Amino acid sequence: MKVLILGAGAMGSLVGARLSRTDAKVVLFSTNRRHMETVVRDGLIIEELDGSLTRFKLDACYRPEDIPWRPDLVIVLVKSYATQPAVASVKGLCRGSTIFLTLQNGVGNWERVAEQTGKDSVLIGSTAQGATLVEAGRIRHGGKGLTVLGEPEGEPSRRSHEVAELLRQGGMETQVSGEMELLIWEKLQVNVGINAITALTGIRNGVIAQSEEARALSTAAVEESVRVSRAKGFPIREDMVERVMAIARATAVNRSSMGQDVDRRKRTEIDAINGAIVRLGEELQIPVPVNRTLTQLVKILESQFKPVDS
Ligand code: KPL
């Protein structure tokens, strides 16, 4: 199978490196030219969870015209706000049978992919893995977690099982599910409870569960978000707050993706995470003061950055 990683930041690079251990042909794609050129020249270095270093030899490019073949599978890991242009930039290369698997954070992503590829080409997934881009050509695996994928609607198809098997062969614990929309909304709660708070305070994920104040703030944000999500029709699990804390502990050394964006003075995914809860709260007339405040604070911070795309 030929796999294109569309959005080879920290997570995309991690997934691409793991898949390069299978029979699949893998190419990383990112507009971060320095990262891609370093990977081509020196390989991708992963600081593994046990502290060891692994170097992966990988194909990588920063211009769509340099993607070497037509992919069978495109794993979409660009930031949610970049989904539309990123998919558009590679669509011409793909076959009718190419599968687009989105593993992105936030809600609304698979719909944006499907607008361009058609719903039949889309698989959706969610991952609790954590990864940090340390510098060009080097990432840190910040925490192991389950990856779940399936069709946007309905029971897991044969192709979902095949893609899940490929990820497992690469060493990523992966399951298939017939309830992906719900799982995407449950992952949203995790990001609501971890990302903005870590971005605003500079802490790593583990502190969310350790610090009394961080835990209280995260709990308040998640409780609001669960209320809104349930009112929207998603029966979010009862123990969602504990689940968020468990993921914060499992990815304790990781800086959340939003934390990394802020550290690098990059635009964040706030609109697709806490911002999505604020919009929905307004629509459903459910108060969401904590998520509103977190969203406003992140936006204030962002407004001081010069926007960059990678
Ligand atoms: O999804 C993540 C993110 O950082 O965006 C978690 C699971 C919180 C890992 O850091």
CATH of the domain at 118: 3.40.50.720
Q: Residue 310: its pLDDT value, please?
A: 47
Cα angle for residues 196, 262, 187 (degrees, 5° grid) = 40
Q: Are 182 and 231 in contact (CB under 8 A)?
A: no
Residue 225 and residue 150 share a domain: no
Whether 198 and 274 have beta carbons less than 8 Å apart is answered as no
Nearest CA to ligand 1 atom 7: 128
Q: Say whether both 188 and 101 belong to one domain.
A: no
Which class for 300: exposed (0-12), middle (13-18), buried (19 or more C-beta within 10 A)?
A: exposed
pLDDT of residue 307: 57
Indicate whether 167 and 214 sit together in one domain.
no
What pLDDT is recorded for position 278? 98
Q: At what angle do helices 289-303 and 212-231 cross, to 10 degrees?
A: 110
Contact 229, 190 (CB under 8 A): no
Please, what sign has the CA dihedral across residues 212, 10, 171, 2?
Answer: positive
Tell me what pLDDT residue 306 has: 77
Burial, 105: exposed, middle or buried (Cβ in 10 Å; 0-12, 13-18, 19+)?
buried
Q: Are residues 80 and 104 in the same domain?
A: yes
Q: Which residues are catalytic?
A: 187
Q: Which atom of ligand 1 is nearest to the CA of 259?
A: 4
Q: How high is the pLDDT of residue 308?
A: 55
Residue 73 lies in a domain: yes
Q: Which of 188, 254, 264 to mutate to test the pocket of ligand 1 (most atoms within 8 A of CB)?
A: 254
Nearest one of 221, 230, 235, 239 to 291, comparing CA atoms = 221
Query: What is the spatial distance between Cα 281 and Cα 288, in angstroms, rounded to a whole number?
Result: 6
- Whose Cα sits closest to atom 4 in ligand 1? 256
Helix (H, G, I), strand (E, B) or coil at 121: helix
Instruction: Return phi, psi of residue 237, to 5°.
Output: -55, 150
The radius of gyration of the chain from alpha carbons, rounded to an integer in Å, stands at 18
Sign of CA dihedral 108, 17, 93, 135: positive
**189 CA distance to ligand 1 middle (Å):** 11
Inside any domain, residue 225 = yes
pLDDT digits (tens), the chain, 310 positions: 999 999 999 999 999 999 999 999 999 999 999 999 999 999 999 999 999 999 999 999 999 999 999 999 999 999 999 999 999 999 999 999 999 999 999 999 999 999 999 999 999 999 999 999 999 999 999 999 999 999 999 999 999 999 999 999 999 999 999 999 999 999 999 999 999 999 999 999 999 999 999 999 999 999 999 999 999 999 999 999 999 999 999 999 999 999 999 999 999 999 999 999 999 999 999 999 999 999 999 999 999 997 554 4
- What pLDDT is stored for residue 26 in this prediction? 98
> Is 218 domain-assigned?
yes
Q: Are residues 50 and 101 in the same domain?
A: yes
Domain boundary (142, 162, 178) is at: 178
Nearest to 2, CA basis, from 90, 99, 86: 99
Asked if 245 and 171 sit in the same domain, the reply is no
Q: Total structural domains in the chain? A: 2
Q: Strands 138-143 and 44-47: what pairing?
A: parallel
- Pair 283, 215 in one domain: yes
310: in domain: no
Of 157, 178, 199, which closes a domain? 178
- To which residue do tokens 């609001």 refer? 224
Residues 171 and 197 in one domain: no
The answer to whether residue 308 is domain-embedded is: no
Which of 143, 163, 178 is a domain's end point? 178
Instruction: Please report where in the chains the tokens 């569960």 appear, as a residue.
Output: 209
Looking at the fold, whether 107 and 82 belong to one and the same domain comes out as yes
| Residues 57, 140 within the same domain | yes
Q: Answer whether residue 33 is part of any domain.
A: yes
Q: What is the CATH number of the domain that holds 287?
A: 1.10.1040.10
Residues 50 and 38 in one domain: yes
Residue of 139, 194, 218, 253 to test ligand 1 pocket, by largest number of atoms within 8 Å of CB? 194
**Ligand 1 surroundings by CB, under 6 angstroms:** 105, 128, 130, 190-191, 194-195, 205, 247, 251, 254, 256-257
User: Are residues 190 and 172 part of one domain?
Assistant: no
Q: What's the pTM value of the predicted model, to 2 decimals? A: 0.93
Q: Which ligand 1 atom minimizes the distance to the CA of 145?
A: 7
Say if 309 falls within a structural domain: no
Pocket test for ligand 1, best of 11, 132, 191, 262 (most atoms within 8 A of CB): 191
Residue 199 domain boundaries: 182-302
Return the number of other C-beta atoms located less than 10 Å from residue 171's C-beta.
13
